[in-house]
Amino acid sequence: MHSCWVEINHSALRHNIQAVRHLVGDHISVIAVVKANAYGHGAVEASRIFADEGAQMLAVTRLDEARPLRAAGIETPILLLAPALHGECDEVVEQGLTACVSDLRDARNLSDAVTRQQRTVQVQLKINTGMGRLGVEPEVAIETAKQIQELPGLELTGAYTHFASAGERDTGLVLAQYGRFQPLVQLISRATGLNPQNFHCANSAALIRFPSMRLSCVRPGTILYGQFPSPMAEEAAQDQGLKLRDGFAVKARIIAVKNLRRGQTLGYGPEWKATRPTKIATLAIGWADGLSMEPHARTASYAEVKRAAQVTAKRAAQWYGMRGEDAARKVRLNGQSASIIGRIAMQQCSIDITHLPDAQIGDAVTVSMRRLSAGAHLPRVYVDD
C-alpha cells in the first residue's frame, strides 16, 4: 500500500498505439518513442506494450535510457535519437543499439568501436532541416551518407529529421523542413542503396496533421500517452476520428485529518488562514514529488509567478475539465474536487475537505501534475480495465 504513487493504465497505452497504427495503416511502420521514462509512464512497461502491439522499433534519447530496456530483456530494435559520446560507443555496440550519426565524427567514433570489437553496428543519419540542434545539413547529406557506408563496421539503415513546429498554427516552417527532407529520400537511396522505407520525419503532430509526411515510417511520442501536442493537432485528430485515452494519474493518500478553528493558520509562511471552521486533510505528496516547485514567491517576480501559474492551471484544467483559474489548486477525492490550501511543502500538502464529511485517513486522492514532473522515485502501479 503506497502513500504516493503513479497509476498507469495498460489498456490506455494499448488503445493509443492501436489507434495510431489504425490511423497510419499497416503499410507504415511505427517507431515508438519511449524517451524520458516513456514520458513518465515507465519505459520498460510501455516498451513491452508497444512492441507487443507491433512497433517495429523503440526510440530513446540517451544510452542510459536504453540500458534498462535491454536489462529487462527487451530485444526490439532501439534507436538513439542523439549521438553517443565518444566513451559510450563501445556500449552502444555491445547493447546492439541503432546509433544516431549527426556528423562524420560520430560515425568515425562508432567505426573505431566496432573495429575494436570486431562487430558491426547499425546507424541512422540525422539531417538538420530547421531544428538546428543536431544533424548534417541537407546539402552535404548525400555525400555524408556515402562516407558513412565506407567506414568499417557501420551499416547505414535509415535517415531522419525532426520538425520544430509541426503542431503550430503557422505551417510555414514545417512545410519548409519537409521540402528540404523529402527530396533526399530518393537522392540518398539512389546514392547508397538505402531502402526508402527507412526514412522518417513525422512526429506526433506531423503524422496527425500532414498525412503525406508519414512516408513509410512514423515516430509518435506524446500521442502514445494520450496527449495531443497542440490544439491544432487535436482538431486534426478529431477530423480523422483519432481518439486517445489518458492512462496517467498521480495519487496520494490522506495521512491525517484535522479540524481548524476560524483564524488558525496552516503551513509554512503561514500564507493561509481559516476564515471559518475548516476540516482539512494532509496528503503524503509535495513539491519534491513533482506536485509543485519550491515556492517562487521568494525569488521570482510577480510576472514569473503569474505566468507559471497560468501554464499549470491550463494543463490541470485539460485534465479535470475545470476552469483554468481554479484547476491548479484542485484535487479529486471520491469523485469530488477539493482545494489545496496553504503552501505546498516538500512531501506534504493540505486540502480543504469541509464539504466532504466522509473523507478519512487512507483515502486515495488524485492530484493534477505534469507527467514529466512526477518524480521518478514514485512507484508506478500498473492496472488494466
User: Tell me: the pLDDT tens digits for 80-89?
Assistant: 999 999 999 9
Q: Where are the domains of the chain?
A: 16-240, 248-383
320 is catalytic: no
State residue 294's pLDDT score. Answer: 41
CA-CA-CA-CA torsion for 345, 1, 318, 315, nearest 10 degrees? 30
Print burial letters for 87-122: b (CB count within 10 Å at least 16), e (below 16). ebbbbbbebebbbbbbbbebbbbbbbbbeeeeeebb
Q: Which of 9-13, 93-97, 328-332 shows the lowest mean pLDDT across its residues? A: 328-332
Q: Which residues are CB-neighbours of 86 under 8 A, at least 6 positions away? A: 109
Active-site hit among 146, 243, 258, 268: 268
State residue 292's pLDDT score. Answer: 73
How is domain 248-383 classified at the architecture level of CATH? Beta Barrel (2.40)
Give 316's pLDDT tier (boundaries 50, 70, 90).
Answer: very low
State residue 1's pLDDT score. Answer: 82
Question: How confident is the prediction for the chain on average, in pLDDT?
Answer: 91
State residue 327's pLDDT score. Answer: 44
Active-site hit among 35, 126, 251, 330: 35
Residue type, 301: S
268 is catalytic: yes
Question: What is the CATH T-level fold of the domain 16-240, as seen in this structure?
Answer: TIM Barrel (3.20.20)
